[in-house]
Structure 1
């Protein structure tokens, strides 16, 4: 796979991606969009200033004015694009990837994402051509200070009346840049934080909270300080994962169900989105709270487009992306954090531990996501489809198959899909019992090979 991917641009800096390519991308982005004014933010990676400078030069050579945010998380850049008078923009980041990587996430006006289908593949074609150089009058560059306005925006999602003790692992990523200002505006939050210094080398652990061992850092802080909740962020702070007061992981689909209840109680009936890897409990909880559960394929561009089309107020993915209509229909780890705190501080929840709030959501047994490297992903999915033809199937994203009725002891389902970002097949499976889950997992592993 090249650097131009389904959702973003990403590659090893210096070999796959460099300043010259950044200049080309900036120039092509302006021409692709017919843009007159674009926003550029950047993360804390050591080469992000050089890459952001090059992108800005390319944009200006193409005649576009550039609003530079400087150091900014991905959600802060989305906020800038959504709130400023502009034609879109991008953030220089490689999210949770190791320090040698860099890349870009791109948006049109209103922070609408630009994906492979809506522009990134065309950018790849344009960037294969020689650099066009200056086109007429060169654009200007203006530096914008947005952190205080962004902190006000995030804090507006919090509705707290009593003190809440919180543990935070910023993972040396961009949450460490934005959280101090946000926490200043939340005086009732007693935060105990680690790895708050942004460091693009990620010296302690990878900034990927989906890896279970990485959550042990925040779990330790939870136990040391008696926190009611712990949160760990990824590198660019658009994702987060949670642990309860005992340090036990709360999967993102269960948090989606919990936060969905909150929004439906607050606003009344509304559509809520979830991705098709999520536990069946998400659909059940949304419906029970009076909402309209909408199942969508994996990927932020699909979730955001459907949220806009259906007027959804909230959405969540198993990967730890949480989407908010009042946040320009974009994902934000820090807004998920303050919303979770608001749920904890609701009068009916103040005396209940987080583990109790999610206990009734753990009624099914899932494998989590299991990855496989196979020679031919399409052929493997075709074989799975044939092998499990007796089940109820759909092909919204890969192949999903359900067996039995939900009330029965032998009910189970699975999804196998090709990753949009890596050369992998991904399996998610859930069953009524742990024993059935394990048996069916082993059956599918036997067909797909050893997990990676």
Structure 2
């Protein structure tokens, strides 16, 4: 059988169409055989289909003699952490993150929480799951409750901040009825015990696989007003919102203004370069002008990596970068197994507010003025290659620099754009940014939109 749920870096598909319990069992078994795994961490998000899929993955793993270290309901980053901390041979998180409610999937890592290589690891797993030409069963497989690993995870996350540097802050947190609530509560309890002067207002906090308030994807502009209004109503100093498996977090200032992801990358780069002058900082190529500016002014070393967690994690490992960030709100940390976390970033920003005495708006206003950006604009296009070719033909003669490492990036005296196909969805994604010129930003965005739409 052909498995359509395998994507470039992970597994996503519609339940009952691309993914079901039998396929999940096959994937679990193939994962164990290809990686020759003996211990595998397993976690799941709160989607209604996740318990059945996780049980099927566990059945496939135990059939090969694997010891399954079950975290239960958790965030993707907890699987990453546990895979490294428990010295397991791999980890599987059953999640569809921010996909529609009828989807589910899996995020996979190998020993050390390292991402699977798309060719050497993921391709053979797919082939074996499709063929079902498995080796004979092995005895001894078992499932072990490792939900208690969360305490060690909380300790690691809190190691990134100096609690003594925190000042009194009121923070609104929106878990989106995803998996973030219980893990956040564990962090909040530990912060209170450590004397952190933080006060929280919780919103949509209870995990609920029916998603009564919509699929948690705060990157979508349509989903941002609810958190923004809640921040204003609560009189909070800032707001935080997470996606379903909370490996991404999003920021709102005290007025409810959404802060674009590239400016959070800049803040975190600044925070790390204050601690480690001259360190390497990795970033993705979609929106770069503000990030490059901050890294240069702080004396850091800028390392560009292609979009996607596999590429950012590889860049952190190869360059020894202390931190890496994507404008899509994925933030990666060398001392967190080079993995992404949605809990570490807001703590670091809270610490930065404490150290500087500034508001969140005060920390980002100048960069937002100097480097305005369009935000990511998605286009569903029948012939993406032809559409991108139209943009290239119309604009290449005026470009001062070109970068084809991840889609098409063209730079001009006043700004730049990046145009790339999505790795996970049938979309073309556009990002435009300028050097302090909102009118040029609107003009370039409108021109490229016309060209893409033919």
Say whether the fold is shared (TM-score over 0.5): yes
Equivalent positions of 1:356-375 (< 5 A) are 356-362=362-368, 363-375=370-382
Q: Distance in 2 between matches of 1:93 and 1:293?
A: 32
Q: Distance in 2 between matches of 1:19 and 1:175?
A: 25
User: Shift of the alpha carbon at 1:134?
Assistant: 4.7
Question: Alpha-carbon deviations, 1:138-179, whole Å to 9, x = none?
Answer: 422211121222122222223233222111000001111200
1:444 aligns with 2:454: no
Question: Alpha-carbon deviations, 1:185-221, whole Å to 9, x = none?
Answer: 1122101111111111211122101012322222223
**Deviates most, 432-441 or 242-251:** 432-441
Question: Alpha-carbon deviations, 1:352-374, whole Å to 9, x = none?
Answer: 22111111111122111111222
SS in 2 for 1:40: strand
Show the counterpart of 1:170: 175
User: Shift of the alpha carbon at 1:399?
Assistant: 0.9
Q: Is the 8 A contact 1:158 1:341 kept in 2?
A: no
Give the aligned length.
441
Gaps of 5+ in 1: 405-410
With the length of structure 2 as denominator, give the TM-score of the two structures: 0.94
Q: Is the 8 A contact 1:314 1:322 kept in 2?
A: yes
User: Shift of the alpha carbon at 1:120?
Assistant: 2.3
User: Shift of the alpha carbon at 1:279?
Assistant: 3.8
Gaps of 5+ in 2: none
Show the counterpart of 2:433: 430
Q: Is the 8 A contact 1:412 1:430 kept in 2?
A: yes
Q: Distance in 2 between matches of 1:93 and 1:358?
A: 32
1:327 to 336, 345, 367: 336
With the length of structure 1 as denominator, give the TM-score of the two structures: 0.94
**Deviates most, 296-305 or 146-155:** 146-155
Show the counterpart of 1:408: none
Q: Which has the higher helix share?
A: 2
Q: Is the 8 A contact 1:5 1:421 kept in 2?
A: yes
Question: Alpha-carbon deviations, 1:247-280, whole Å to 9, x = none?
Answer: 1011110011011111101122100011111240
Show the counterpart of 1:292: 301
Q: Is the 8 A contact 1:98 1:206 kept in 2?
A: yes
Equivalent positions of 1:46-445 (< 5 A) are 46-114=48-116, 116-130=118-132, 132=134, 134-144=136-146, 145-161=148-164, 162-187=167-192, 188-346=197-355, 349-350=356-357, 352-362=358-368, 363-390=370-397, 391=399, 392-404=401-413, 411-432=414-435, 433-445=437-449
User: Shift of the alpha carbon at 1:131?
Assistant: 6.2
**Deviates most, 242-251 or 380-389:** 380-389
**Deviates most, 318-327 or 149-158:** 149-158
Q: Is the 8 A contact 1:220 1:247 kept in 2?
A: yes
Q: Distance in 1 between matches of 2:297 and 2:108?
A: 37
Q: Distance in 2 between matches of 1:133 and 1:96?
A: 35
**Deviates most, 5-14 or 121-130:** 121-130
User: Shift of the alpha carbon at 1:125?
Assistant: 1.6
User: Shift of the alpha carbon at 1:293?
Assistant: 1.1
SS in 2 for 1:7: coil
**Deviates most, 439-448 or 216-225:** 216-225
Q: Distance in 1 between matches of 2:98 and 2:379?
A: 20
Q: Distance in 1 between matches of 2:50 and 2:388?
A: 38
Question: Alpha-carbon deviations, 1:85-143, whole Å to 9, x = none?
Answer: 21011111111112221110000111111253342232222121136375232422211
Q: Is the 8 A contact 1:61 1:133 kept in 2?
A: no
